[in-house]
Structure 1
Amino acid sequence: MIRDIPTSPANTSAETPTLTKAELAELLFDNVGLNKREAKDMVEAFFEVIRDALESGDSVKLSGFGNFQLRDKPQRPGRNPKTGEAIPIAARRVVTFHASQKLKALVETGAEASFAR
């Protein structure tokens, strides 16, 4: 299991650490043995497959990780915060992500371990 997540210069502040696509490619290079070009291409291809599936209206289910789904949000009334004028907010499609129970449990276990330090 991959545990060493590299810390980029942007992750050294008090902000929440972020794992980037470049860091994912670096992890594939370090832990799987792909060369850097193959690792980068694999990460890009993975996200492209997910993006294409969502664009065509399909749900994406990653066992042990979670589900990406499209949701249609209807038009709704909104308000201009400066003037108070009522303005409609257009209908739109949004992507939602629901973490699996397994991922939630792993995150909770990891959070408990880091608080115990």
Structure 2
Amino acid sequence: MSISDEALEAIVSHTPRAYPHECCGLLLGEGTTITRAQPTANVHPDPSRYFEIDPHALIAAHKAARGGGPQVIGYYHSHPTGDPTPSATDRASAAHDGRVWAIVAGREVRFFRDGEEGFVALSYAVAPR
């Protein structure tokens, strides 16, 4: 998997702006290449402990993809006081749909595929613009 340096920086820079809440957003691109990270509102009632991507943003991204825009490859969120690995809450709420999840803590980002058997760590390369 690869991610553009611009998308990776968008994820990392979103985290402190949301602190002490969890930030969240969409990973957009084609195939196994993430070209853009789109920040979204965290609409969960308890955003300091959980995240829920704004459904309006998610629907708009899927509509844009059907119209020829970048595909929704997955999602990202932060763990403001934890580490960048799937939490028990992440594992319980995962759809097991094969999407990519990026989890960020501080400036560290790790990527996982949410498959039928649970989360699997992914290696990635950062591609310059």
Query: Normalised by the size of structure 2, how large is the TM-score?
Result: 0.26
Q: Which structure has more strand as a fraction of its residues? A: 2
User: Which protein is bigger by CA-based radius of gyration?
Assistant: 1
Write 1 or 2 for the structure with the bigger share of helix.
1
Question: TM (normalized to structure 1)?
Answer: 0.28
